[in-house]
Amino acid sequence: MTLIPSLTDRRSQRAGLPAWATVVMTTAAAIACLMPLSGCTPLVAGAAVGGTVLLATDRRTTATQLEDQTIELKVSNRVREQLGERVRVNPTSFNRKVLLTGEVASEADRQAVLRIVQGVENVVGLIDELVVMGSPSLTARSSDALVTARVKAAFIDAKDLSANAIKVTTERGTVYLMGLVTAREAQRAADIARTVPGVQRVVRVFEIISEADLARLQPPAPKQDAATSSSDR
């Protein structure tokens, strides 16, 4: 394993809402679910629908996307089982490379987390951004969630960028960008993210592909139905 040092929602369009509104509203609901309140169940259904869209437009294979979700789940469960509540670790897996953000109580805990991740099946890379400090307040975590929503919305509004190809994670005002992108897309995404209110720093954790690779990864253009074409004439 290598240790690396440091959507457009069509339903919203039918409802007359801009694409970014769905991202912000979804994040606002997620922030509400950080509170000890009931009524968060509908988010699960929404996530399932959104996940279907992402599966279709993500540049990873469907198998890799599911594998990344499994890796995140395994890391979270094993860290919780072994270290309990004294750490707050957020694993984000993309193409089997795991970005670790969050806080730990000590250097010993940080090393323990790294060993846990290195022991998870199919992990091929690790980006360690953990810090030794106390956990942030709910207000700070909510602010990070809002920054993530704003960055995603900015990507959606950018017509020359594929928003679903980029995964966004925010920790204490630092925005981490992951994805399979070209050098041009990587620079464009970083430039956009830096302009978003609340962003203090942008860290690019991209896998760079060539323009030729990008062309091969693009879904084929839909074929025009012959009957429809005839009727139009």
What is the per-residue pLDDT across 122-133, written as a single tens digit (0 to 9) for each? 999 999 999 999
- Per-residue pLDDT reduced to its tens digit, 182-217: 999 999 999 999 999 999 999 999 999 999 999 998
Residue 196 CB neighbours (<10 A):
19
Query: What domains, with CATH codes, occur in the chain?
Result: 2-35+43-132 (3.30.1340.30)
Sequence-ordered strand ranges (E) for 34-157: 88-94, 97-104, 125-132
Task: Look at residues 2, 233, 229 and name the one whose alpha carbon lies nearest to residue 114.
Answer: 2
- Residue 129 CA to residue 113 CA, distance in Å, equals 11
Residue 223 clears pLDDT 90, i.e. is over it: no
Q: Flag the least confident range among 23-27, 113-117, 199-203.
A: 23-27
pLDDT given at position 57: 74
Element (H, E) at 208: strand 201-208
| pLDDT for the residue 160 | 93
- CA 29, CA 38: separation in Å to the nearest integer? 12
| Position 181 pLDDT exceeds 60 | yes
- Give the per-residue pLDDT at 46: 33
pLDDT of residue 226: 56
The confidence band for 233, taking pLDDT boundaries of 50, 70 and 90, is low
Q: What share of the chain is helix, strand, coil (3-state, %, to 5)?
A: 50, 20, 25
